[in-house]
Every structure is written in C-alpha cells, then in structure tokens.
Amino acid sequence: MIIAVPREILPGENRVAIVPDVISKYVKAGFEIHIEKNAGLNAGFTDEKYSAAGAKIIESVTDLYSGADIVLKVQRPLEHPELKKNEIDLIKGGTLLITFLYPLFHFELAKKCADKGINVISMDMIPRTTLAQKMDALSSQASIAGYKSVIMCANELGKIFPLMMTAAGTIQPAKVVIMGAGVAGLQALGTAKRLGAVVEVSDVRPAVKEEVQSLGGKFIEVETDSSMQDAGGYAKEASEEFLKKQKELIFKHVTEADIVITTALVPGKKAPVLVTEEMVKNMRPGSVVLDMAVEFGGNCEVSEKGKTVKKHGVKIIGEPNLPSLVPTHSSEVYAKNLLGLVTYISKEGKVELDPANEIVKGSLITYKGEVVHPRIKELLK
C-alpha cells in the first residue's frame, strides 16, 4: 500500500505528517512512502533527507493523491490554492484519509468525504485510553502548545519571570494564572515554573488538584458536587451556576495576574468564556492574556483569532495554531502518533479496518461511503 503525504496548504501551517526518522519503520511494516516535493521544508526536513530515508518525492500533488491508498495529513482537506479544487476532489474513492478533521465542528466535510467514498480516521477523535496513548495526537500537540504559550507570553510581558535579588532591590516573581489543567495547561504550568513564576491553576475537575500541586502550582478550587470529567477523560460542559461561581472566584486571581493563559475546550462545543472584558479592564496595564481556545470561539471575551491586540492596556494573544510555531518537534511527535495508529490497524502492509475495534470505532468517521460515527451522524440529521 502507498502512503501519501502532501504539503499542508492551510496558511501558517508549518507541520508535516511524516518525518524522515519514521520512514524506515513504515517500509519495514510493508508500506511505500510518497511525499510531495518540499512538504517538510517548513518543519526543517528536506527532500534529500526523505529520499535518503527511503521515500519517493512526487512533484505533482495530483499524481500524489491519485496513487495513494492512505493519505496522512495534519489539517482537514481544504481548497487547493493552485489547483482551485478541494483536496477531497483530488483523493480517489476507497482511500483512507487520516488527519485532524475536527468533524464535530466540520461535519459537512465528513459528509463530503463519505459521498466521495473516502474512509476517514480523525486524529482528534482517538479515544483517550491506555492502549491508544501512543496515538494520542491531541495530547502530543497540546503539550507543545502549552510550552509555546508561556514563551510567547514571556516575550510580550514587560517583566521577567523569576524572583531576582539585585543591588538595586528585589524583583518580585511574575504571577501566572492558567485556566484548564489538561495536557496544555499542565505543560504551561511546568514551563512557567521552570522560568521562575508563581503559578495558579483553575480547572472544573477537582481530580486534577494533585497533579497541579505536584508540578508546584497552586490550585484555584471551585466547589462542585458533580464530576466534571466524562468517561473519555475530557472536561464536560459546565453548568451556568458552576461557571458563575468560577468567574466570581477567579476574578480576583485573574486581575492580580501578570499573565493569564486559557486552555479550556469542550469537544464539539463553543469554548466557554472564562475571561470577561470586565476582568481584562481590571488587569494591570502591561499584563498579557493568551487565549489557546481562540480557534473554537475563545475563552477570552475580547481575543481575536490570528491577532495580538491591546485592549484596556492588556495584550491579548489569539494565536490559533501554537504547535505550528514549533514545527520540527510538533511534526516529529505527530508522525510517531500516526505511525502508532497505522501499524496498529495494519498487518503485513495492509490496513484492516475493524469497526468493532475500540480505537477504530471511536475515531472512524466515514467508511464505505457512509458517515459511521454516531455523534457525526446525529449532527448531520
């Protein structure tokens, strides 16, 4: 079977779905690798490195797609700027497409793929189970996003992070508040602590308190009776009453912070507003807010997607694709997630999709011309 990897066409996307280091493993498993010319260049991987690892470089993206049995991508299929065709139209029926489709938000794309006979596995729907850990691309990318968020905030803040004693007096450490203690939030916490900041973390799930404390953070606790985590390990949508309590409690913490990083996402829903304009107004001038959920509606009321804006003297960063700003390592870990999945669902170089398998069942969106994922089917009604 031929695995094809195109160059990503979303503006600002620097990642690539395969890196030279994993190619020998695919070849050993019985696959042939075709990669579009210059597909890995923005992530620091040259065509020479791919060729030396055993991949075949394809000049024409049309040829690449027409010869593929499996297509590995980072982003969902989009309109190709040069060919003026959607990538779905370039992929032949019967091909397996593995990418971040985000079908809970882009369910119309799932329908288009089904109509074309393209089988789709969406990496954002991989179940968060022990068995699926090495395929968990959401976590691997969120971890890098958490790190980069702190570096970007440090760059915008007019203060240093650590406590510093100088002949001219003592400089107090920066105070960082992180909303959400998922993978991204915990990585942001660890990074901010290593830089010397005092870090406070808020999360709707009381169960994460120990994790926060073990990394040296202070947990901002909101009393709640119900578990705020679903069976898959994701945060559940919070009730209005809970969000009101949370806003009241964190108002003080946010307005005293130098940096606020928000990471709260609920799959398939608009991101909850955690930082209101009123909070931003009451923050100290020169403070920084980074809204990691800006692509899905935003946790900050006044963030703007793709922009860093200044509101009420506060800088608000609305970068929608943080992992793409660290493309070398983001691509390396994503490529290993994909390798873990492809080798799991294949035998002797042939992919065998078993819709009854737990991992396949959770992430298979379309199969044999139909939308098969129950949640996506429901959205299309």
The tens digit of pLDDT for each residue in 341-350 reads 999 999 989 9
Mean of pLDDT values over 67-96: 96
pLDDT at 84: 93
| Burial (Cβ within 10 Å: 0-12, 13-18, ≥19) of residue 374 | exposed
239 counts as catalytic: no
pLDDT value at 267 more than 60:
yes
pLDDT tens, 44-62?
Answer: 999 999 999 999 999 999 9
- Give 273-297 pLDDT, tens digit per residue: 999 999 999 999 999 999 999 999 9
- The pLDDT of 142-163, averaged and rounded, is 97
In tens, the pLDDT along 215-261 reads 999 999 877 655 666 666 666 666 777 777 777 888 999 999 999 99
Is 139 among the catalytic positions?
yes
pLDDT at 333 over 70: yes
Q: What is the pTM of this model?
A: 0.92
In the prediction, which pLDDT does 135 show? 97
Residue 206: pLDDT above 90?
no
194 is annotated as an active-site residue: no
Structure confidence at residue 242 (pLDDT): 74
Report angle CA 93, 20, 102 to the nearest 5 degrees: 45
pLDDT in tens, 99-130: 999 999 999 999 999 999 999 999 999 999 99
- How far from chain centre, in Å, is Cα 138? 5
The reported pLDDT for the residue numbered 227 is 60
CB atoms within 10 A of CB 130: 6
The mean pLDDT of 69-80, rounded to a whole number, is 97
The predicted model gives 179-204 an average pLDDT of 96
Mean pLDDT value across the chain: 94
Residue 51: predicted pLDDT: 98
Check 139, 140, 143, 331 and give the catalytic one: 139
What is the predicted pLDDT for the residue at 239? 74
Confidence (pLDDT) at 234: 62
Least confident interval from 127-131, 132-136, 153-157, 235-239: 235-239
Whether residue 133 lies in the annotated active site:
yes
pLDDT computed for residue 367 by the predictor: 96
Say if 2-125+345-380 and 142-325 have the same CATH topology.
Answer: yes
Q: How many CA atoms lie within 13 A of 31 on its CB side?
A: 27
Q: Which amino acid is at 158?
A: G
The domain locations on the chain are 2-125+345-380, 142-325
Which contacts of 222-230 are long-range, i.e. CB under 8 A and separated by 24 or more positions? Answer: 222/246, 222/249, 228/204, 229/205
Query: Which residue is catalytic, options 7, 128, 194, 375?
Result: 128
Across residues 299-312, what is the average pLDDT? 96
CATH homologous superfamily, domain 2-125+345-380? NAD(P)-binding Rossmann-like Domain (3.40.50.720)
CATH 3.40.50.300 is the classification of domain 142-325:
no
Find out whether 259 and 157 touch, Cβ atoms under 8 Å. Answer: yes
d(CA 280, CA 275): 7
**114 in Cβ contact with 101 (< 8 Å):** no
Rounded to 10 degrees, what is the CA torsion of 233, 378, 76, 325?
-30
Of the two residues 249 and 359, the one the predictor is more confident about is 359
Predicted local confidence at residue 229, as pLDDT: 62
Q: Tell me what the mean pLDDT of segment 68-94 comes to.
A: 96
With H, G, I as helix, E, B as strand and everything else as coil, classify residue 63. Answer: helix
Structure confidence at residue 224 (pLDDT): 63
- Of 24, 60, 66, 133, which residue is the catalytic one? 133
